[in-house]
Amino acid sequence: MIETIDASRCPRCDAVVAPPATWCPWHPVPMTPTSVRGVGQVVSFTTLHAAPEGFRSPLHIALVELEGGARFVCH
């Protein structure tokens, strides 16, 4: 299991994004580096039976929300 995941936090709206971003996606504000625990919950998932080039089929894709609030897509 991954202990922590690098992320960034917006000092204006407190949003957390992973992977880290230079600027807040919602405000023109520089992000602050942070990390979140590598523990989360699957919010949604799907299976692609015709995977894109370079991936094996079936390809399982999930939207995961980490305990620190960041969401990211993984396979």
Q: Read off the pLDDT of residues 25-43 as tens digits, 9 standing for 90 and up.
A: 999 999 999 999 888 999 9
In terms of Cα–Cα distance, which of 29, 58, 60, 27 is closest to 44? 60
Q: Enumerate the domain spans of the chain.
A: 4-74
Confidence of residue 67 (pLDDT cuts 50, 70, 90): confident
> Measuring CA to CA, which residue among 49, 52, 14 is closest to residue 32?
14
pTM here is: 0.71
